[in-house]
């Protein structure tokens, strides 16, 4: 793996993690966390660990991000008052 690819993936990983930490929007933070997890899975793959990369991509970027987004959406809809007209 080229050093430039590794540096680019590491920058995406750190940028996504920092965005997830500093973002005021929970949806944006969940998407940034999924992007960082996808970059981490590519780093795993290029370092020669395809099973760890596949697991990180399917669980970290896929399942956890979707669960976070669904939970945020449900929590926001519960907090809103109902319009019973």
pLDDT at 1 over 80: no
Q: What is the pTM of this model?
A: 0.80
For residue 17, the model assigns a pLDDT of 92
For residue 43, the model assigns a pLDDT of 93
For residue 82, the model assigns a pLDDT of 61
- Cα atoms in the 13 Å half-sphere on the side-chain side of 77: 6
Q: What is the pLDDT of residues 19-49, one digit of tens each?
A: 999 999 888 998 999 999 999 999 999 999 9
Please name the residues in contact with 12: beta carbons below 8 A apart, sequence gap of 6 or more: 35, 36, 39
């Amino acid at each position: 793996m080229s050093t430039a690819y590794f540096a680019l993936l590491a920058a995406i990983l750190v940028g996504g993690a920092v965005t997830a930490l500093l973002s005021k929007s929970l949806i944006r933070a969940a998407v940034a966390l999924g992007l960082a997890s996808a970059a981490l899975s590519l780093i795993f793959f290029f370092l020669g660990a395809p099973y760890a990369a596949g697991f990180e991509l399917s669980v970290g970027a896929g399942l956890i991000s979707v669960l976070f987004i669904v939970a945020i959406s449900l929590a926001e809809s519960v907090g809103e008052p109902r319009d019973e007209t």
